[in-house]
C-alpha cells in the first residue's frame, strides 16, 4: 500500500493574469490572458504528493460556495481524500490573485476566507498520528499548525513544515524539530535575521530538526546536525510559470520521505519535480507524476 501523507493547509481558487512584466507599486498595468485555476498551498502540496505516488488526505476548509465545490472536485480528481475538509458557513472559499510575468515570475495576494477558520478535532489528530508523514504550511492559522505538529510529534511521526507565507516561527515549533522547507526570504523572516547565511546559522542552532532551504533554479541547501550540503537544481525543459514550484517541491519531498527515502535522496527527487512543474501555466498543470520524475532524473 502507498505511504500515507496527511496535509494540513489551505484550499484556494487562483485568479491569474499574465502580463509582459509585473506591476510596480501603485501602478495599473494592462495584462493579457486571464484564467481561473485550482490552488492553495495545502491543496497544491497534496496534489503534488499524490501525483508522486503517496496516498494523501487533506485537512482543510472551504466555504459553502461554488468555488469550494470546484476545489474539492479538483482534489478528488487527483486522488486526494477530502472527507476531513470542512465547509464553513459564513465564509468564502479562499482566493489568490496572481500576476505572472513574461519570464514566469509571479506576485501573489491571498484572501484566506474559510482557511482562516480551520481548527483540528480529535479525529484529525488521530489521522495525523497514524500517518507516515505530516505536511503543513502557513496559509491556515499558526495555532492549527502547531496543533498538527504536536499530534505528529507525540506519535513519533515524520513532520514537514513549509513556513510559507513567511512567518516568524515560535519556539515550541522549533523545539519539535519538523523538517523546515523555507525559501531564502522565508528563512530570513522565520528567524528575524536579514542576512540569509546568518539566518540559516541562527535557525539551525535553535531548531531541533533539519532545514532544507529551497533556492529555485540553484537547487536546495540542507542544514542538518551541523553539516551543510548543497544540491544542484535541474534545468527545466521549459519555463512558463513558476507558480507552485515550491509547493511541488514540498509535496514530492513529503511523499518521498513517507515512502522511506533518505532526506538527501528525497531532496534530489523534489528538486527534479520542481523543475518539471514550471513548464506549464498554473500551480498544478505542470506537477509531474512519479513516472515523469523518474524519467526526467534518468536523463539528467
Active site residues: 247
Contacts 24+ apart (CB under 8 A), 128-131: 128/6, 128/8, 128/59, 128/152, 128/155, 128/157, 129/154, 129/155, 129/157, 130/4, 130/155, 131/4, 131/5, 131/6, 131/57, 131/157, 131/258
Residue 138 CB partners (closer than 8 Å, separation 6+): 41, 145, 162, 163, 164, 165, 167
**Cα 101 from Cα 201, distance rounded (Å):** 33
**Cα 145 from Cα 158, distance rounded (Å):** 14
For residue 216, the tally of other CB atoms under 10 A from its CB is: 16
Task: For CA atoms 63, 67, 69, 72, give the dihedral sign.
Answer: negative
Cell numbers placing 17: 493574469
Q: 252 vs 56, 131, 245, 255, 267, CA distance in Å?
A: 12, 16, 11, 5, 9
| Nearest Cα to Cα of residue 236 among 286, 291, 193 | 286
Residue 239 CB partners (closer than 8 Å, separation 6+): 103, 104, 278, 279
Cell numbers placing 51: 501525483
Question: Cis before residue 165, ω within 30 degrees of 0?
Answer: yes
Amino acid at each position: 500500500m502507498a505511504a500515507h501523507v496527511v496535509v494540513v493547509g489551505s484550499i484556494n481558487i487562483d485568479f491569474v493574469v499574465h502580463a509582459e512584466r509585473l506591476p510596480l507599486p501603485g501602478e495599473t498595468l494592462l495584462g493579457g490572458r486571464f484564467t481561473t485555476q485550482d490552488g492553495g498551498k495545502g491543496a497544491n502540496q497534496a496534489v503534488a504528493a499524490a501525483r508522486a505516488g503517496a496516498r494523501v488526505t487533506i485537512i482543510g476548509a472551504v466555504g459553502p460556495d461554488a468555488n469550494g465545490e470546484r476545489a474539492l472536485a479538483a482534489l478528488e480528481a487527483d486522488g486526494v481524500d477530502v472527507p476531513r475538509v470542512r465547509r464553513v458557513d459564513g465564509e468564502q472559499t479562499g482566493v489568490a490573485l496572481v500576476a505572472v510575468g513574461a519570464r514566469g515570475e509571479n506576485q501573489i495576494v491571498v484572501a484566506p476566507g474559510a482557511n482562516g477558520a480551520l481548527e483540528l478535532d480529535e479525529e484529525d489528530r488521530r489521522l495525523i498520528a497514524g500517518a507516515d508523514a505530516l505536511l503543513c504550511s502557513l496559509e491556515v492559522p499558526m495555532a492549527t499548525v502547531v496543533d498538527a505538529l504536536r499530534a505528529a510529534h507525540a506519535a513519533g511521526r515524520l513532520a514537514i513544515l513549509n513556513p510559507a507565507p513567511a512567518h516568524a516561527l515560535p519556539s515550541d515549533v522549533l523545539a519539535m524539530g519538523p523538517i523546515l522547507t523555507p525559501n531564502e526570504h522565508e528563512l530570513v523572516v522565520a528567524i528575524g535575521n536579514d542576512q540569509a547565511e546568518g539566518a540559516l546559522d541562527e535557525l539551525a542552532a535553535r531548531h531541533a530538526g533539519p532545514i532544507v532551504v529551497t533556492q529555485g533554479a540553484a537547487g536546495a541547501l540542507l542544514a542538518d546536525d551541523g553539516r551543510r550540503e548543497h544540491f544542484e537544481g535541474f534545468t527545466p525543459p521549459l519555463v512558463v510559470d513558476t507558480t507552485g514550484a515550491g509547493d511541488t517541491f514540498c509535496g514530492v519531498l513529503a511523499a518521498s520521505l513517507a515512502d522511506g527515502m533518505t532526506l538527501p535522496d528525497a531532496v534530489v527527487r523534489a528538486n527534479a519535480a520542481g523543475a518539471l512543474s514550471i513548464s506549464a501555466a498554473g500551480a498544478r498543470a505542470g506537477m509531474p507524476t512519479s513516472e515523469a520524475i523518474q524519467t526526467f532524473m534518468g536523463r539528467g
